[in-house]
Structure 1
Amino acid sequence: MDRKKILTRLLCVVGVCTLILSAVAAKKKYKSPILLIPGLGGSQLDEKTKGYRPDTCWTHGRYQKVWYDIQMTPNCAKDLSLRYDKSSNTYRNKTGVKIRVPGFGETNTVEYSVKDTAVFVKKIKRKYMRNLVEHFAKCGYERGVSIRAAPYDWRLAADELDRTGYFKEVKGLIEEMRKANRQRVTIVAHSMGGLVSHYFLTSYSGINKSWKKKHIKAWITLGTPWGGAIKTIQPVLANKKTAPLKCEELSETLIFLIKKSPIIKHYAPKCASWSILVPFGRTFESTAWLLPKPSLFGDKVLVETNSRKYTANDYEKLFDRINYDDGYAMFKGTQQINSDKYPNVPTYCYYGKKVKSTPEKFTYTSIKDSKPKITYGDGDGTVNIESLRACDTQWSGRKKFKSKEFDSVDHQDILSDKAVLKYIAKIVGARGCGSMEQLEQLLEALN
């Protein structure tokens, strides 16, 4: 071996020692534990039905995964529909159907959005929060101890989640994490999870200012649709009479399911049938909650036909036009949830921009029987830039508030973007976070 190679090996050994010491120091240092709040569709759902009925998913009397399950049949999908009671502004499941959210307190059900091990389908895993969890695991965080998750029934908005006792469970989980880790908790919320956690911090009656001061170190939101998202309008307008959407108009997850599932392929050849996959979407309270807010989008034209234009101030007329009987009442019912209250905890609002595939307007030849032409604008591919920036509009200048925009980072990728993870690591105090990764790379190079 020549002198150059010997010197290189020696320097590498010194580097390995340095990285090992740095990594060990990072693991020993107490850091703020992390609580993850997922976004729309980011929590798995289990279903149980009693007996067999031709219009209901047959679960053999026990709970089975219904979301995400690539073998999900139309009947199982239909069972996710909610029944809206206009008089009380409340929601319930279909008669005979029970839905539960598995994995509360753990990260396994939010790390992957799709998991299937059926014998006739190749094993499938689609990452959701996996990269974020893995990153902090390498920083010394331990699943189920210092990094945990609070999945929820994302069909509901925050007020209904409150009635189900979800926020009481979140409070208990945070107190448990605070005690176990001897450090205040940092909440990291993605997408609609930002709205859910905002309600917890500002409107849930079970906590107060002193509780937040004792238990919460920081609140970090990633790609939160503060003023809703124009993209939400499309599934509301897509019904059985509406022409099917093109592949590029579907969400990435739905495209993935269609391509991988033999059952869904049968019903949705070439990504053609939105109605088979989400005929239940317009029954969700969360859909109404995420519609573009009139206070933000005002007179901006969102939907256009040959005969007229619709803005966020025209939902009553629009929903009447498509025979969406409960739509306007559902929308009005969710508006009382919205609040621009500052949570009075250190707040960080992070989001992507300059992703030009963000829907801005839908133009229909006839709103009842044609697919739309989509006009795109700025945002993160899902949420419009006006909505993402609403946190700045509301809270800029507040004490302990910071926001940051990330160029060309889309709605999903913000969960694994290296720059974003670096900022989160700094906030939670996980310094030396990259030591383990660098050590692995160096050891690999030595081999």
Structure 2
Amino acid sequence: MDKTRILTRLLCAVGLCTLISAVSALESSPILLIPGFGGSQLDEKNGNYDYCNTGGNYKRVWYDLFLWRTRICSKDLQLRYDKSSNTYQNKTGIEVRVPGFGETKTVEYSAKFTVFSVKSYMNNLVQHFAKYGYERGISIRAAPYDWRLAADELDRTGYFKQVKGLIEEMRKANGQRVTIVAHSMGGLVSHYFLTGYSGIDQDWKKKHIKAWITLGTPWGGAVETIQTVLANERTASDWWKVLVPYGRTFESTAWLLPKPSLFGDKVLVETNSRKYTANDYEKLFDRINYEDGYAMFKGTQQIDSVTYPNVQTYCYYGKNLQTPERLTYKFGIINSLHKKIKGEEEDPIKNVKPKITHGDGDGTVNIDSLRVYNTEWSDRKGFESKEFDSADHKGILSDTAVLEDIAKIVGARCCGNIEQLEQLLEALN
């Protein structure tokens, strides 16, 4: 076959694929993305620090490619907790907003400016569905939120009213019911929307929602969250140092702690002097002078995460990856004697990076937490759970098997002539 004929066939095949993808997008369920903790960019105004104070204009705080700038400005992200009303406010004078509601760009990357996919988050997922003919801002959209807050506070700020309006807009514009794809804490947030938000009912869900897909959602919390709560500048992991100690003021941090109902009397933290379980948060937080910690935790336990949403539900998550299961903060004998002699602080939690005992999970969330509803919802109509071997907590967003499963659920069809195209390209070369 001469190259002219090959090129002609190639162009026809490309045109056919483009047409198939376009038609597929029209017939497929539009996708609404709900990101997880830290997955939405945040802007602030009236910052308390010279670099952050821009004279009344908003400035991107989360996330800046230059880590030192994020460390400086993230101090303004800390929240003030009112124990009497169980509510949260920004620091006095500080305004925080979430940019890009309805768009995908602020959840595709964690940072405003990206270089060679640095700080990529949901970009691979969005790009994957673009191949099926999905269009950003039309058939695939996102509902970023202030991830410092748990669902009850998001409700109070009007976030779920915005989500409802966005879904109705997508349903009308695309002519198909919407599929919600939620990652990590986004699964908890979207669960509240489907079960706890008073602005929708079952008839609304039947009309507007095709399916709800959660990816790596920590239904019962995660042991790793305890490490972030206990961390200080000396003991924090590199990424969390950006938010130490201000991350303790976030309602979401308390929300993601391991739940006593799941972890029970299992030892989660051990020191030279005692052991702590999920039933011992009050004593543990007193030890580190985390005054509001226990009240914040108790407040988040009032948020329902058990009710079945009565929509087609898919819980996907990874397994067989080393995941923090127990944190051991201990001084060695020599180290302990040395500190006594010098009269230094002897509490190892404040001075020692923990020894981490690992168990099964997705690298971040423990397997029992990921599997909670395999039993609770197993007999419910329309529920399906699926485990993906070695798909880590963030990597599940770009896992090919996961993305192909989502494509089947939303009814996306790609061009069937990919192999022919590859053969034709090879012949041209």
State TM-score, norm by structure 2. Answer: 0.89
> C-alpha deviations, 1:279-317, integer Å up to 9, x for none?
211100000000000001111110001111100011011
Q: Which residue of 2 aligns with 1:266?
A: none
Residue by residue over 1:177-227, the C-alpha shift from the partner in whole angstroms, topping out at 9 and shown as x without a partner, is: 000000000000000000000000000000000000000000000000000
Q: 1:244 to 1:109 in 2, by over 3 A?
A: same
Tell me the SS of whatever aligns to 2:351: coil
| Corresponding position of 2:227 | 234
| Structure 1 match to 2:59 | 64
Task: Name the residue aligned to 1:278.
Answer: 244
The whole-number CA distance in structure 2 between the counterparts of 1:288 and 1:440 is: 52
Distance 1:275 1:181, change over 3 A: closer
Q: Which residue of 1 aligns with 2:79?
A: 82
Which residue is equivalent to 1:403?
Answer: 385
Q: Is contact 2:31-2:140 (8 Å) kept?
A: yes
Partner of 1:103: 100
Partner residue, 1:361:
326
User: What is aligned with 2:272?
Assistant: 306
Judged with a 3 Å threshold, the aligned counterparts in structure 2 of structure 1 residues 55 and 200 are, in CA distance, closer, same or farther, namely same
Structure 1 unaligned blocks of 5 or more: 1-5, 255-273
1 CA distance for matches of 2:209 and 2:6? 43
Q: Which amino acid aligns with 2:35?
A: P
- 1:119-169 CA deviation, whole Å, 9 max, x = no partner? xxx777321100110111110111101000000000000000000000000
2: CA distance, partners of 1:326 / 1:56: 30
- Give the counterpart of 1:131 among 102, 121, 124: 124
Q: How does 1:14-413 map to 2 (within 5 A)?
A: 17=12, 20-29=15-24, 30-49=27-46, 53-54=48-49, 57-71=52-66, 72=69, 74-116=71-113, 125-240=118-233, 243-245=234-236, 249-250=237-238, 254=239, 275=241, 277-356=243-322, 358-365=323-330, 366-413=348-395
Is the alpha carbon distance of 1:9 and 1:417 closer, same or farther for their aligned partners in structure 2, counting shifts above 3 Å?
A: farther
Question: 2 CA distance for matches of 1:161 and 1:439?
Answer: 49
Q: Contact 1:192 / 1:225 at 8 angstroms: preserved in 2? A: yes
CA distance in 2, matches of 1:280, 1:439: 55
* SS of aligned partner of 1:313: coil
Cα shift readout 1:99-134 (whole Å, capped 9, x = no counterpart): 0000000001001112437xxxx7773211001101
| Structure 1 letter corresponding to 2:360 | D
Contact 1:220 1:348 in 2 (8 A): yes
**Structure 2 stretches lacking a partner, 5+ long:** 331-347
Q: 1:434 to 1:361 in 2, by over 3 A?
A: farther
The amino acid of 1:360's aligned partner reads E
Contact 1:12-1:442 within 8 A present in 2 as well:
no
CA distance 1:286–1:439, change in 2 (3 Å): farther
Check conservation: 1:19, 1:435, Cα contact below 8 A: no
SS at match of 2:141: strand
Tell me the percent identity. Answer: 71
Sort the Cα spacing of 1:293 and 1:18 in 2 relative to 1 into closer, same or farther, 3 A.
same
Query: Cα 1:299–1:439, aligned 2, differ >3 Å: closer, same or farther?
Result: farther
In structure 2, the CA distance between the partners of 1:410 and 1:276, relative to structure 1 (3 Å rule), is closer
User: Structure 1 length as normaliser, TM-score?
Assistant: 0.86
Q: How far 1:369 moved relative to its partner?
A: 1.9
Q: Which amino acid aligns with 1:61?
A: G
Do the aligned residues in 2 keep the contact of 1:19 with 1:438 (CA within 8 Å)? no
Instruction: Read off the aligned partner of 2:185 and give its amino acid letter.
Output: M
Is contact 2:184–2:214 with CA below 8 Å preserved after alignment? yes
